Amino acid sequence: MSKKDKRTINERAKSSKGLMKVLMALKHEGYNFYVRQFGKEIFTWDVIYRGELYSSYIVIKLKKKSSKLSDTDLNEVIKMCYAGAVTTIDTLLGKKLDKKSKKNVKLFESMRDQVAKMPE
């Protein structure tokens, strides 16, 4: 019989290996959400809200001649996914964005549009 693993979900996730890796598991306003990485370039956030799964993703292309994201870049991607998950929950709860948050959303959207227009 195995002993009960006393590590937190984040500690267990960081030790996992394979195609999918859980980078973060947290709660916001009482709702669970997960930030995950698939392969080297796909990052998702999954929100469980009232028994339903809400999910979205972003693709971050690696720099040329790079086999993985730097720790700094990975932390920035996690922050973006965290913001997406929290915004998803707040939207589902009917919360209104303040002026600063609206400005940040516009900035994020403009950056995403610029990246989408970049040649490969």
pLDDT tens digits in sequence order for the chain, 120 residues long: 456 777 776 676 666 667 888 888 989 999 999 999 998 889 999 999 999 999 999 888 888 888 888 888 888 888 888 888 988 899 899 988 788 777 777 776 776 666 556 555
Q: Which residues pair with 45 in a beta bridge?
A: 35, 56
Q: Which pLDDT value is given to residue 1?
A: 45
Residue extents of the structural domains in the chain? 9-117
- Tell me how far apart the alpha carbons of residues 110 and 59 are, in angstroms, rounded to a whole number: 16
Q: Is the Cβ–Cβ distance between 116 and 55 less than 8 Å?
A: no
- Tell me how far apart the alpha carbons of residues 36 and 16 are, in angstroms, rounded to a whole number: 11
CA angle 99, 117, 77 (to 5 degrees): 55
Helical axes 99-117 vs 71-92, angle rounded to 10°: 120
**pTM of the predicted model as reported, rounded to 2 decimal places:** 0.68
